[in-house]
Amino acid sequence: MKHPGTWRAWLRGGLLLTSVCAVGGTVAIQAGCASTPDSAAREGISLSPTPLYGKFVWHDLVTDNPAAAKRFYRDLFGWEFVDIRGGLRPYSLIRAQGRWIGGIVHPANAAEKREGALWLGYLSVPDVDRAVTEVSARGGKALDGPIDVRNIGRAAVVADPQGAAVGFVRSRPGDPADTGVPDEGQFLWMEYLAQDPVAAADFYKELLGYEVRERPLGGGPHYVLAQGQHPRGGVLANPVKGARPNWLTYVRVKDPAALASRAQALGGRVLMAPRPDARGGSLALIADPSGAVLALQRYPFESSKSATAP
């Protein structure tokens, strides 16, 4: 777990305090730096007319080698990158299939670097301060913020009661709309690998008002956190004994086996190759060259019984 004092520079260097929200006056960030709905529309970004609280709206990769990360993800997924200058630290926006989906930022200091690379997801919440207070009251803690972010809104990073890090953001321009299943190469899903999945599902239900639906899945209970017709994330027991709880980020791919093999050839590692007992062979887990973990998921799944993503 990162020491609380190490997160502030990360936030200030990454998405949440990237005050330069345009390159040549045209680049809008999908989940926060779009200065107006019109500027978002020019970039092919659809903003919901009402906030979509409880939706993961952005993903940041923190890595001590952004250049290597960009090479890796460009060759693996075909992602494009736009470097943002003018903030406290360099920041690179990620574009996949014409949509801005996240960013890449360098660790702020030696303490962050020692923690290793990771992907951090940001949840849209109606009131960042209240969310942080409620997390603390239920046994979690604030890691940084809340802080005001020019052209974005307000944001914070917390550790929930089981220790998993998650970001909160209240975006003034609005949240990216629900526009169907993401394209290949875009973020598809978030899944909480919990020490206690029942407690985790209850915690996020109380925090964000999710409906909790239990789905059959081999290896123990699996819960889907949903808002009406829209699933927002899954919760299940962490399959790695002794590993700390975390939110796992999924990317939609056509062929997880081929992409996992390519990831290894590009300098990453295959943590789990597709296998029949894991969603019909539709899932692989990889780590990029700096150690950040991602799930590669074919969608639809092979088995309709296990299909829980939007």
Instruction: Return the higher-pLDDT residue of 47 and 231.
Output: 231
For residues 25 and 150, membership in a common domain is answered with yes
What DSSP assignment string belongs to 78-136? Answer: --EEEEE-SSSS-EEEEEETTEEEEEEE--SSHHHHHH--EEEEEEE-S-HHHHHHHHH
At residue 294, what are phi and psi to the nearest 5 degrees?
-135, 150
Domain housing 256: 187-306
Question: What was the pLDDT predicted at 112?
Answer: 59
pLDDT of residue 43: 53
Instruction: Looking at the structure, tell me whether residues 39 and 14 fall in a common domain.
Output: yes
Percent of the chain with pLDDT over 90: 57
| pLDDT value at residue 2 | 46
Q: What is the pTM of this model?
A: 0.84
Structural domain contains residue 197: yes
pLDDT for the residue numbered 220: 74
Band of residue 3 on the pLDDT scale cut at 50, 70, 90 = very low
39 and 149 housed in the same domain: yes
| Inside any domain, residue 214 | yes
Using 50, 70 and 90 to split pLDDT, how confident is the model at 222?
A: very high
pLDDT, residue 7, reads 46
Give the pLDDT confidence score for residue 127 in this predicted structure: 96
User: Residue 218's Cα: distance from chain center in Å?
Assistant: 25
Number of domains in the chain: 2
Look at 252 and 62; give whichever has higher pLDDT: 252
Residue 24: per-residue pLDDT:
22
158 shares a domain with 12: yes
**Domain identity same for 125 and 255:** no
Judge if 276 and 133 occupy the same domain: no
Q: Is residue 179 a part of any domain in this protein?
A: no
Tens of pLDDT, residues 140-190 = 999 888 998 777 789 999 999 999 999 999 988 889 888 888 999 999 999
Specify if 45 maps to a domain: yes
Choose the final residue of a domain: 171, 206, 224: 171
Residue type, 161: P
Asked whether residue 290 is domain-assigned, the answer is yes
The mean pLDDT value of the chain amounts to 82
Residue 137 and residue 278 share a domain: no
More confident residue, 79 or 29: 79
Number of H helices, E strands in the chain: 7, 16
The pairing of strands 187-194 and 141-149 is: unpaired
**pLDDT tens by residue, 8-27:** 444 444 444 332 232 222 22
Tell me whether residue 76 is in a domain.
yes
The two tokens of residue 165 are: 């890090």
The pLDDT tens digits of the residues spanning 100-128 come to 999 998 876 655 566 678 999 999 999 99
**Per-residue confidence at 236, pLDDT binned at 50, 70, 90?**
very high
- Name the more confident of 136 and 181: 136
Provide, rounded to the nearest whole percent, the portion of the chain with pLDDT above 70: 78
Q: Is residue 228 part of a domain?
A: yes
Q: What share of the chain is helix, strand, coil (3-state, %, to 5)?
A: 25, 35, 40
Choose the final residue of a domain: 171, 204, 234: 171
Does residue 231 share a domain with residue 149? no
Q: Which pLDDT score, from 0 to 100, does residue 277 have?
A: 84
Q: What is the pLDDT of residue 204?
A: 98
Q: What is the pLDDT of residue 151?
A: 75
Do 166 and 236 share a domain, yes or no?
A: no
Domain finish residue from 129, 144, 171 = 171
* 158 and 43 fall within a common domain: yes
Q: Count Cβ atoms within 10 A of the Cβ of residue 179 and give its class: 0-12 exposed, 13-18 middle, 19 or more buried.
A: exposed
Region 3-8: mean pLDDT is 44
CATH number at residue 69: 3.10.180.10
Q: What is the pLDDT of residues 255-278, one digit of tens each?
A: 999 999 999 999 999 999 999 988
Tell me: do 144 and 9 sit in the same domain: yes
In a domain, 177, yes or no: no
Mean pLDDT for 207-230 is: 89
Helical residues (DSSP H) of the chain, grouped into ranges: 7-13, 37-42, 66-77, 110-115, 128-137, 197-208, 256-265
Q: Do residues 81 and 124 both lie within one domain?
A: yes
Q: From its phi and psi, is residue 160 left (phi > 0), alpha (psi between -120 and 50) or beta?
A: beta
